[in-house]
Structure formats: C-alpha cells, structure tokens
Structure 1
Amino acid sequence: MFWQWPLRSPGRLAFTVVVLGALVFGLVYLGGSVGGGNTGGGGVTGGGQGDRWDSGGSGVSATPTPTRLPPVAPLTPEQLPVDQAAPQALEAARVWTSAWVNHPEGTTAQQWLAGLRPYTTDEFLGVLAGVDPANVPASRVTGPVVPTRASPKSVEVTVPTDTVRLKVLVIDTDVGWRVSRYERE
C-alpha cells in the first residue's frame, strides 16, 4: 500500500509532505497562468483594459469591483458599574448557589441537577451532568452575592460558602437570567 510507505519513518513522512506541497504549489501556479490570471509574471498575456469575461461583450469587466463592507460592532460588551448589576441576575446567582450546595447524603446526580435546572443554561447543565454531588465541597452559603463585573447581558458575582468562594457568571437568556459558568476563586 502506497499510503503506508510515508508512515514507516519520519524521514519518509517529511519527504512526502515536501513533495506534495511542491505539487500543490506547482498546480496552483500553473492553474493561475493557464486560467488567465495575469500575475505580472510570465503568465499568459491577453489584450488590454477591454478584456471581458464573456465573449458576448455584455460589459462585465475582468477586474472585479471591490465592495465596501459595513462597519463591525465592537466585540467587547459595554461595562456597567457593579452597583447597576441587574437584580434578577443577582437573585438567579443566589438561588443557583443555594441549589448547588444542597446535596444531602444520598442525593442522586439527577436530583441535584433538577434543583439546578431552572437557573442554569442548557449548555452548562450538560457540563454539570458529569458532576457527582458528593464531590461538591460546600454545604451552605455563608454570605451575600457580590457583583464583581456587570454588563447589560451578563453579570459576574462572587458567593461565599462554608468551604470555597465561588465566582459565578450569570447571563440574560431568552427565558431569563441563567448561570452559564462557575469556578472556585
């Protein structure tokens, strides 16, 4: 089998990659010359300014007219002062964290997830499905939810528990504010 030959040694693999690269480069260069692309090099030369793509002379010039794209909106979200964080986001983070620490002995993963579901994005719920609630170190929330960053559509908060401080990201979805991420601080 030909495809096995390059895999028998690193030298053969490197040689094969170089040969294939040269082949592709040659075909692209040759294709540009034969296809009528005038690169200024030794390609096929045609007439002058009046070249047409079609032989009917419909007025379509060989040189495409550049188009102007609309401006792109900035990708960074608008920052708000933390005291302007949405109260619904803070409440969602508080209730979610209370559900996160609620895992008495014998709680199944399905029961624990059912408590988190109303306050969690579907995507993050899939991530949490792999968590065993017995591995959650905290058992109670010990302080208030404190916003650390805010924007119109997302709020990051910290929430103290009896063992760790959580950093929770809450986002505004079509169905309300939901937790999309957490990490231990």
Structure 2
Amino acid sequence: MPIRTPRGRSAAYRVLWQWPLRSPARLGLSAVLLLAVVVGAVAAIGAVRGTRGTTVASEAPATAQPAAPGADAAPAPTVLPPVAPLTPRNLPLSAAPSPALSVAARWTGAWVDHPPGVPAQKWVDGLRPFTTDEYLGVLVGVDPANIPATRVTGEPRATKVAARSVQVTVPTNALTLDVLVVLTDDGWRVAGYDKA
C-alpha cells in the first residue's frame, strides 16, 4: 500500500477534491460553480453555432430583396418544397380502368370456386394470378369451406376510383363483395375484400 505524504502531486490533488467535502456550505458552493461552468459552456457552444448559421445565411444568393430600413427582418424562406396532400383524389366512376374491373370479376370467380373438400392450397393457387403477394399471405389462413357463395351473379361495378386503385362491388349468390384492386408492377391485382 502506498504511503500518503503531505507533499507531492497526489497530496495536491487530494486537497482539491477533499475541499468541497469539508462542510455543507463548501459542497453547495462547489455545486453552484460547477453548474455555472456547464451553463456557460452550453451558451458558448450555442453562440458559436448561431454565428455559423448567420454566416451561411449571409452567403445565400443575392436574389433575395433587402429589407426596408426600420422594418423587422423576416425569417429566410425554407428551401423545402411544399408537401402534396397524402389522400388520393377520387376520379369519376366512369374512369375505372376495364382491366381492374376484369381482375375483380376473375378474382371473385376464383373466390367462389370451392367444391366441397377442396384443399385450401388449391383454392389459394386459383386466386394467385389475381392477388398481390402480400394479400396471398392473408388468404392462406382462410378455410374455403366457410365461404357461403358458390357463383357470381352479376357484373363488377366500380364504387370508388383513384389513380392507382379501384374499389369494385361484385354480387354473388350469397353476398356482395367489396373488392379492392390496386395497380402493381405486375398489373392490376386484388389487395383486399370485404362484404359490401
């Protein structure tokens, strides 16, 4: 074990870190001084960053109009373009693409084609050419024996049309299906259905 002497570098360090611990008043004073140093450092860093931002802004192209004397300086315009609305615009029902309606009719025809005892995989394979890959994962869990319809009884009719999707109703002998057809890289495919 090293011998502690009252002289030397380690003794000087020991005096420094023990000084705040000798009384509660010294400890409080040390905490306040430490806090002041941290706040000062943060303020200095913020000031340096602020001056960098103003130098970059002053190097902007000279196309901006100078502010009138005495007028408050307006904030610089942002360089980001405006964001387009995220909701698709609805098109008239007459604008429904005929390939989308055809896919909805053919998909519904495959959906109602489930003779008694047909394996679920064979039924899903019949839907595969008209269905998105993502939705096939959902259809794998459907038991075709639970589908009440056995035939399509009418023509598909568009109920909502957007640029890349069409909502189509197709009547069957048990219920009317509401089929969502979307435009993919492989053409129009069914991405979902529900009871109308």
TM-score norm. by structure 2 comes to 0.64
Aligned to 2:166: 155
1:112 counterpart SS class = helix
2:48 counterpart SS class = coil
Q: Does 1:173 pair with 2:184?
A: yes
Q: Does 1:114 pair with 2:114?
A: no
CA distance in 1, matches of 2:99, 2:162: 13
Aligned to 1:9: none
Q: Does 1:52 pair with 2:48?
A: yes
Aligned to 1:26: none
Shift of 1:68: 3.2
1:71 counterpart SS class = coil
Q: Does 1:143 pair with 2:143?
A: no
One-letter amino acid of the structure 2 residue matched with residue 79 of structure 1: N
Name which of 57, 68, 82 aligns with 2:93. 82
Shift of 1:73: 1.2
Shift of 1:60: 2.6
Aligned to 1:96: 107
Shift of 1:158: 0.6
Q: Does 1:71 pair with 2:82?
A: yes
Alpha-carbon contact 1:89-1:155 (below 8 Å) kept: yes
CA distance in 2, matches of 1:96, 1:86: 16
Shift of 1:34: 3.9
The total of aligned residue pairs comes to 140
Q: Percent identity?
A: 53
CA distance in 1, matches of 2:148, 2:195: 11
Q: Return the structure number with greater helix share.
A: 2
CA distance in 2, matches of 1:35, 1:82: 66
Q: 4+ residue stretches of structure 1 with deviation over 3 A?
A: 33-38, 61-68
Gapped runs of 5+ residues in structure 1?
Answer: 1-29, 39-45, 54-58
2:52 counterpart SS class = coil
Alpha-carbon contact 1:52-1:62 (below 8 Å) kept: no
One-letter amino acid of the structure 1 residue matched with residue 187 of structure 2: G
One-letter amino acid of the structure 2 residue matched with residue 52 of structure 1: V
Q: Against the structure 1 CA distance between its residues 64 and 37, is the aligned structure 2 distance closer, same or farther, given a 3 Å change threshold?
A: farther
Q: Against the structure 1 CA distance between its residues 61 and 93, is the aligned structure 2 distance closer, same or farther, given a 3 Å change threshold?
A: closer
